[in-house]
Amino acid sequence: MLPDTFALLAAILGLTLAVGVAVAFGVARAAALAQRDAARVAEATATRLLRLTAHELRGIGMTLHGHADHLAATAEGPVAAVHAASLAAATAQLLGLADELQDHTMPPAAPRILREEAIELASAAREAIAAAEAMLAPGRRNWRLRPGRAGLALWADRRALRHVLARVLADAVRNTRNEDWIDIAIRPHPEGLEVVVEDEGAGLATPDAPAAALAESAADSRGIGLRLALARGLMEAHGGRLEVQAVARVGSSVSLVFPAARLRAVG
C-alpha cells in the first residue's frame, strides 16, 4: 500500500504543479496580451492626436499664409516689408512642421479600405477651392476651373478624394502669392481622366527673397512630391497616380490621373 500511496501523492503533486504552471503561464500570457492591447490603444490614440495636430497646424499655417500675403501686398516702407517676409518665413516653417507630423503618422504600406461612391468631380473641386479660400483669408488667389465633360462621375472614396484635392490645392497656394492664378482642369487622359492643377509660379524663389523664404519657396518636383506623399498613396489606392512638374520662377503642375475603370456615367 505504501508504494501505491507514494505514487498517488506523486501523481497529485505532478498534476498540481502542471496546473500551477499552466495557470501561471495563462496569467502571464493574459497580462502580456493586455499590455500589448494597451500599447496598441495608446499608439493609436497618439497617432490620432498627431494627425489632428498636423491638421490644425496646417489650417493655422494657411491662415497665417493668407495674412502674410495680404501684408506683403499692402506693406508700405522697408520695415513693413521685413515684417511681411518674417511672417512668411515663420509660416513656411509651421507648414513644414505640419508636413513632418503628417509623415510620422502615415501607416506602413498596406491595402487601404475604400468606401467608394459616385462623385461628381467638378463639384468636389469647387468644394476644395471654397475650403482653400476660407483658410487663406484675408489672402486671396484667383481660381480658374475647367470642369470638363458633364454627366461623368468618379467612383472613389469621398474622404480620400477630399484629402487629395485639399493637399494639392494647399501646395499650389504655398507656391504662389496673393492674387496669383491657379488653374484646375478636368480633362480626358489616355488612361481615363485627369485633374491638373497648375500655378503660375510667381510665388516661387526669387533672387531678392529672404534666405528662409528662399529655401522654402524654391519648390521643385522632388520637394512638392515629398509634401504630397500621402496624397500619392491615396491615388495609388484608387489605381491612379500623382505626377508633379515644377520649375522655380516658372510654375508647378500636379496631375491626378484616374483609370477609366473608375469613371461612371450619371444623369
For residues 22-37, give the mean pLDDT.
70
Instruction: Catalogue all structural domains in the chain, each as residue range(s) with its CATH number.
Output: 47-265 (3.30.565.10)
The pTM (predicted TM-score) of the whole model is 0.64
C-alpha cell at 44: 493609436
For residues 194-207, give the mean pLDDT.
69
Pick the residue with more confidence: 18 or 78? 78
Pick the residue with more confidence: 213 or 159? 159
pLDDT at residue 259 tops 60: yes
- Tell me how far apart the alpha carbons of residues 192 and 113 are, in angstroms, rounded to a whole number: 22
What is the pLDDT, as a whole number, of residue 117?
92
Share of the chain above pLDDT 70, in %: 69
Q: Where are the beta strands (DSSP E) in the chain?
A: 116-119, 142-146, 152-157, 181-189, 192-199, 241-247, 251-259, 263-265
For residues 58-78, give the mean pLDDT.
74
Pick the residue with more confidence: 166 or 266? 166
186 φ/ψ angles, rounded to the nearest 5 degrees: -105, 115
What is the pLDDT, as a whole number, of residue 74?
76
